[in-house]
Structure 1
């Protein structure tokens, strides 16, 4: 039973008051968003004006379409170069290859064999995951693995500037300058510490690890845990103590998120709902300092727990109305789709909403998202809970068979 949360708390009135406070703009996040916006805008305008002046010359005026094409192609090339920089930086400091992803195409090493899979992480265009050094400690290196991507794009950017100055071909000048400008922008927004909507950039991660031993420990554990899951280890095989943050941990630190969501999924799979609730409440205490994407995930899980607890119908519907638009923005990942499907089933069962089309659409999307999920074990938990939501509700009445 849900001993921790069985209190007259979740009402329609409480939810309305909750979202009045949750929607209050956080000054720190507002500052970070403005800093990111102005950095990208100023750099973009500067590079755009110079590129435009080059293209306006008589000999270059016919290359506009080529310039647009190469702006797109250079973006893809720089993603590959950036992730390759992480790979090289990791190899130099004794990390071991695990996966290399560009958009949704991912090269994965499993059982000493390489294969290509489709994996998606919303909000990211690429990722190079490495296994941490064997027998890692808090003194193990971390800088080159993090900074390698930014260093690689910077070196390519400087090389492109050199080639731009050396070449006399108008077409080559345009190509090299676009590569230089694009590379410089990516270098700055990657290495200058910034909090992006979905995660820290590499510069912010480096800063967090330098100032916080807990963040450093969770960074290495995150890589190690990810490697275990990639190698087929189940959530129940990873101890709760390993995944728990220390008492002094900063819950709003993005580097700490991964382990806590793995622990949360572990609790759900093992039907430890009291523990899942307790962990979610801990996350909610740091709600205002978290990144927007993590706030959405917290709102999603709160709605899910309210549904399987079968609290007051007005409360559930009010909560859903406050978060529905945000959930739909991130409906490409299985945890969010799990909640959306649970709500549609709940609404249909309570004659509040007979929109069968929405339920069927979310179910189709869930299967697609599950196939390309970055963490198969988490997606497996979402699958079990998505198609056993009625049994989850029965658990409140004493049923013992959720999984």
Structure 2
């Protein structure tokens, strides 16, 4: 576990250093660009040019996010994958039975996500390198094209400034995603490396893709095949891809309302899955918290699980309907605060209407109802 934390911290340090270097370079060359472009002008004109640079900086970054996720899509489809969903920010295009639908969804630690799936497992020999590294490759391709175009547009200071920033962001995106690093979520390079090293990781990655595909087809976790949720042996849980199947197995027990299974599998994953990434770790803890609340409701156990990292995750995931469901149960069964619980219920309804998958909304509604029934039952027993 200590080695995993060191890797995590190293990945975060590299990410921060690269980000600061990019910002520093942008600031230095931006100031120099303003001085050389408008040498004999006043502060007002230079301020306008500065605002323009901020605008194109944002535009260049946003475009490179689209290009990155588009790279996963293009190279995935080229190598035999099928489309499940494509997300930029919170805007999500998801494949349903009656066509592509536009929904709203966000995931902490990600600016976008392209989810595809492949039908032929082929004993783990399915293509995965181009799909996973296609985003970085696409960033590099477009950055090179921008660099070539810059050579012919240096006379236009506005277009040339955009092209330079666009290319710089593309190279930065490629490095940050292709060089293996761990963080809130593992980057593409780290996932690719894990897939190359472990046949078990390739099996789990395939199963995760299949689970995602079934969810887009509105199949609930409890109705999927048991084989998709077999937790690997402890020796294979040292990478995020294998460990994530454990997190999915916990979620499936929750959908089945097998709360003893949630607690048992959840604690097993927390104790043994060294590769479990921070957001999945917090998500598993929240599932155990809900299970504890609607069963034993031990204040000591709930307090131990609801630590600083979980609270931080819940704060940044305030639109996540699973997180809202647990907060609703916490307000009722732990805090005995019906008004606060009602606020979470209102929040749930707000985001449930925008959620991309009806099957997940249905599951969460069942759990909300169960928590309310437990609360009513406890109050009735106390009244007697």
What range describes the TM-score normalised by the shorter chain of this pair?
0.7 to 0.9
- Aligned with residue 95 of structure 1, among 75, 81, 103: 81
In the TM superposition, what is the alpha-carbon distance from 1:51 to its structure 2 partner? 3.2
Aligned CA RMSD, in angstroms, stands at: 2.9
User: 2:24 matched to which residue of 1?
Assistant: 45
CA distance in 1, matches of 2:377, 2:340: 26
Name which of 175, 181, 204 aligns with 1:188.
175
Q: Does 1:132 align with 2:118?
A: yes
Q: Which runs of 5+ in 2 are unaligned?
A: 40-45, 379-384
**1:29 paired residue among 8, 33, 45:** 8
Q: Would you say the 8 A contact 2:234–2:272 is kept in 1?
A: no
Q: Distance in 1 between matches of 2:186 and 2:178?
A: 10
Question: 1:122–1:330: 8 Å Cα contact kept in structure 2?
Answer: yes
Bigger mean CA deviation after superposition, 159-168 or 319-328: 319-328
> What is residue 43 of structure 2 aligned with on the other side?
none
Q: Out of 204, 209, 212, which is 1:226 matched to?
A: 212
Aligned-pair distance for 1:347? 3.5
- Give the direction of change, closer, same or farther, for the CA distance of 1:315–1:117 in structure 2 (3 Å limit): closer
In 2, distance between residues paired with 1:135 and 1:319?
37
In structure 2, the partner of 1:18 is: none
SS of corresponding position for 2:116: strand
Which one is further off, 251-260 or 148-157? 251-260
Deviation of 1:320 (Å): 4.3
Q: Is the 8 A contact 2:215 2:359 kept in 1?
A: yes
Distance 2:22 2:262 in 1: 44
Q: Structure 2 vs 1, CA of residues 77 and 85 (structure 1 numbering), >3 Å: closer, same or farther?
A: same
Give the C-alpha shift of residue 227 in structure 1: 0.9
Match of 1:389 in 2: 371
How many residue pairs were aligned? 369
Q: 1:300/1:113 Cα in 2 relative to 1: closer, same or farther (>3 Å)?
A: closer
Q: Report if the CA contact (8 A) 1:153-1:183 is conserved.
A: yes
1:120·1:372 contact (CA, 8 Å) conserved in 2? no
Aligned equivalents of 1:111, 1:329: Cα separation in 2 = 31
Equivalent pair of 1:29/1:289 in contact (CA under 8 Å):
no
Q: 1:242 aligns with which of 196, 211, 228?
A: 228
Higher normalized helix content (fraction of residues): 2
Where does the alignment leave 5 or more consecutive residues of structure 1 unmatched? 1-21, 397-403
Select between 55-64 and 70-79 the one with higher mean Cα deviation: 55-64
Q: 1:120 to 1:325 in 2, by over 3 A?
A: closer
Deviation at 1:255, TM superposition (A): 1.9
TM-score by length of 1: 0.82
- Could you state the TM-score of these two structures normalised by the residue count of structure 2? 0.86
User: Match for residue 42 of structure 2?
Assistant: none
1:258 CA drift (Å): 4.4
- For the pair 1:342 / 2:321, whether they are aligned, the reply is no
Counterpart Cα distance in 1 of 2:294 and 2:69: 41
For 1:147 and 1:63, how far apart are their aligned partners in 2? 36
Distance 2:343 2:376 in 1: 25
CA distance in 1, matches of 2:253, 2:170: 43
Name the counterpart of 1:307: 293
- Aligned-partner Cα distance in 2 for 1:122–1:334: 13
Tell me the distance in 1 between the aligned counterparts of 2:313 and 2:82: 37
- Between 38-47 and 169-178, report the one with greater CA deviation: 38-47
Tell me if the contact between 1:51 and 1:178 (Cα under 8 Å) persists in the aligned partners.
Answer: no
2:103 counterpart residue number? 117
Question: Is the alpha carbon distance of 1:225 and 1:311 closer, same or farther for their aligned partners in structure 2, counting shifts above 3 Å?
Answer: closer
Give, in angstroms, the shift of residue 155 of structure 1: 1.0
Q: Which residue of 1 aligns with 2:281?
A: 295
3-state secondary structure, aligned to 2:236: coil
**RCO (CA 8 Å, sep 6+): is it higher in 1 or 2?**
1
Equivalent in the alignment of 1:400: none
1:59 and 1:184 map into 2 onto residues whose CA distance is: 28
Residues 133-212 of structure 1: pairs in structure 2 closer than 5 A: 133-134=119-120, 136-167=122-153, 168-197=155-184, 199-212=185-198
Structure 2 SS opposite 1:309: coil
